[in-house]
Chain A
Amino acid sequence: MVRARNPTLTMAKQYKAVGEEAWKNSVEKVNAELFIFTYGSLVVQLVKDYEDYIAVNKQLDKMGYNIGVRLADDVLARTGLERCPDLHATAEVISKVGFKIFLNITPTVSSWSADAKEFSLILDDNPLNDFCELPPKAVQGGLWYSNILCGVIRGALEMMHMQTEVCFVRDVLRGDDSSEIRVKLVRVLEEEVPAGDD
């Protein structure tokens, strides 16, 4: 399906304005170092407890999922946004409103698949990564440090009746040049109570 360029850009600008306005006015701020250190100790503790980096990734995703299911309602209440017409709009809302309100960053939406069911979020600047340096074991073991973000996106989208698979594909902490999260729409859920966490 070919989309006209202009409506997408206008929509992106609108969402950007909504996000910035919400960040300025309706969000209470917390000290960044407190947040970064809390997240850092969380990941380190998980690493010590599980000793398996893939298991840690899974736990971070689960925790993120629980956060995400609560965030969706929060964002909509703050911004009063209406239902998104399609996945393009959803992607813009996640990047320009969601990430903006909670982390004050706006990842770039890119790399759409041909069937418009998959896209990437490129994070140029991830505040969770400040001060962090992964030990070589963690890099080899496959740890995605900010994997909680994937869970958050997955949880929030499930509240919007979309079942998705979200995962990191690149991360600056592992030596790549930027961090990239891939979001894949699996199916649109019927109006039903979402399945509980496994």
Chain B
Amino acid sequence: MKIHCIAILSRQGNPLYLGNFDQQQEDVKYHYLAHTSCDVIEERMEQNKTGDLFLGLLQTVGDMVVYGYVLNTGKRIIIVSSVTADSSMARTAEIKELCQAIHGAYISLVCNPFNDIGDEDRLTCSKFDSLVSQLARTYSKPSPA
């Protein structure tokens, strides 16, 4: 499983952060993917009665799968990864873990007293950047057989 992109969107769907880990594609493509996933997220959130933050598989585009996770403040985390031969259960569980780890990194970012972020501001923080890159690398390793 390879993580291509980790995106964070605001409640209104504005892009707050985009981590592009795929050397071949441009950022624009992932911005577009994240944006189109917004509608699916709204649907899922209406259906989601259990209050689970992980929204699961949102859509499949070509060989890429898009997963969603919503934070308590309404912000959305979108993960784009590539399809491999793994069983989808194992993959979903791993993506859920990744989302929770990103959520943790986001909380650390927000807790920094020097960060003056409003609801719609982009997230520019080098520590967060490196944490997310590291997570993408960790979860991109080929899964054990």
A104 to B38, CA, bound (A): 46
Total contacting residues, chain B, CB less than 8 A: 8
Nearest Cβ on chain B to A59's Cβ, whole angstroms: 16
User: Are B113 and A41 within 8 A (Cβ)?
Assistant: yes
Residues of B within 8 A of A138 (CB): 114
Which of chain B's residues have a CB closer than 8 A to the CB of A37?
A: 111, 113
Decide yes or no whether B143 CB sits under 8 A from chain A. Answer: no
Using CB atoms, name the residue of chain A closest to B108: A131
> Does B50 lie at the interface of the complex (its beta carbon under 8 Å from any beta carbon of A)?
no
- Chain B residues, CB < 8 A from A130: 111
Residues on the A chain within 8 Å of B115, using CB: 133
Interface of B is mostly: loop
Give the CA-CA distance A40 to B110 in the complex, in Å: 12
Q: Interface readout for A168-186 with B: 1 if CB under 8 Å, 0 if not? A: 0000000000000000000
Check: A44 CB closer than 8 A to any chain B CB: yes
Residues of B contacting A43 with CB < 8 Å? 113
Does B44 sit within 8 A of A, measured CB to CB? no
Contacts of A80 in B (CB 8 A): none
- Flag whether B90 is at the interface (Cβ < 8 A): no
Q: Is A196 positioned at the interface, with any CB of B under 8 Å from its CB?
A: no
Q: How far is the CA of A43 from the CA of B114 in the complex (A)?
A: 9
Interchain CA distance A131-B108 in the complex, whole Å: 6
The answer to whether B114 and A134 have CB atoms under 8 Å apart is yes
Q: Across the two chains, which residue of chain A brings its CB closest to B113?
A: A40
Of B112, B113, B115, B127, chain A has the most CB atoms within 10 Å of the CB of B113
Interface residues of A in 87-140 (CB under 8 A from B): 130-135, 138
Residue B125 interfacial (CB < 8 Å):
yes
Complex CA distance for A37 and B127, rounded to whole angstroms: 19
Q: Which residues of A contact B111 (CB under 8 A)?
A: 33, 36-37, 40, 130-131
Which among B108, B111, B125, B127 has the greatest number of chain A C-beta atoms within 10 A?
A: B111
- Chain B's closest residue to A134 (CB) is B114
Question: Using an 8 Å CB-CB cutoff, how does the interface string of B74-116 with A read, 1 for contact, 0 for none?
Answer: 0000000000000000000000000000000000100111110
Separation of A33 and B114 alpha carbons in the complex (Å): 16
- CB-CB < 8 A to A36: which residues of B? 111
Residues of A close to B113: CB separation below 8 A: 37, 40-41, 43-44, 131-132
* Docked pose: A138 CA to B114 CA in angstroms: 10
Whole-angstrom distance from the CB of A169 to the nearest CB of chain B?
Answer: 22
What's the minimum C-beta distance from B67 to chain A, rounded to whole angstroms? 27
Chain A nearest Cβ from B107, distance in angstroms? 9
In the bound complex, CA of A130 to CA of B113 (Å)? 10
CB contacts (< 8 Å) of B108 on chain A: these are 131
CA distance A132 to B111 in the complex (A): 7
> Could you name 24 residue pairs across A and B whose Cβ atoms are closer than 8 Å?
A33-B111, A36-B111, A37-B111, A37-B113, A40-B111, A40-B112, A40-B113, A40-B114, A41-B113, A43-B113, A44-B113, A44-B114, A130-B111, A131-B108, A131-B111, A131-B113, A132-B112, A132-B114, A133-B112, A133-B114, A133-B125, A133-B127, A135-B114, A138-B114
- A40-B113, A44-B114, A133-B114 known, 4 other contacts, Cβ within 8 Å: A37-B111, A40-B114, A131-B113, A133-B112
